[in-house]
Amino acid sequence: MPVASGLVTADSNGNFTSDFTLESSVHKQFNGSFSSATPAFTASLSKAEFKDANDMSGGYSLDQNATIGPTTLNIPLVNDSGKKIVISGTLNPHLDKAYNVKGLGKWHSS
């Protein structure tokens, strides 16, 4: 699977933003919100794994196995067509515990 490297950040209100760079130097952002608040976090060494860069568009839901913390994030995404993308990374600084998260987001290009 192709991989894009990037950054994921979230505020303490449950809003998150991410920015990934594809091999073609195109930037893709996945931004959205968790259904419940988590502590603010940054995962500066993150990656998005995908089958096709064209899949990185439109709305996606966080899979039921999405977790944030205490040291890593693992956010499997799925869209209405069943296409899947996985965002993962290392949190710095670490959180006090792991949080199971649900939510929605949307891919954008720049």
pLDDT tens, 25-54? 999 999 999 999 899 999 999 999 999 999
- Its domain, for residue 23, covers 3-109
Work out the number of other CB atoms within 10 angstroms of the CB of residue 64. Answer: 10
Q: What is the pLDDT of residue 95?
A: 97
- The CATH number that applies at residue 52 is 2.40.128
Core vs surface per residue 38-62: b (16+ CB within 10 A) or e = beebebeebbbebeebebbeeebbb
Considering only residues 64 and 28, tell me which one the structure prediction assigns the higher pLDDT.
28
Indicate the average pLDDT of the chain: 96
Q: What is the pLDDT of residue 1?
A: 86
| Average pLDDT of the segment spanning 57-82 | 97
| Average pLDDT of the segment spanning 85-92 | 97
Domain count, the chain: 1
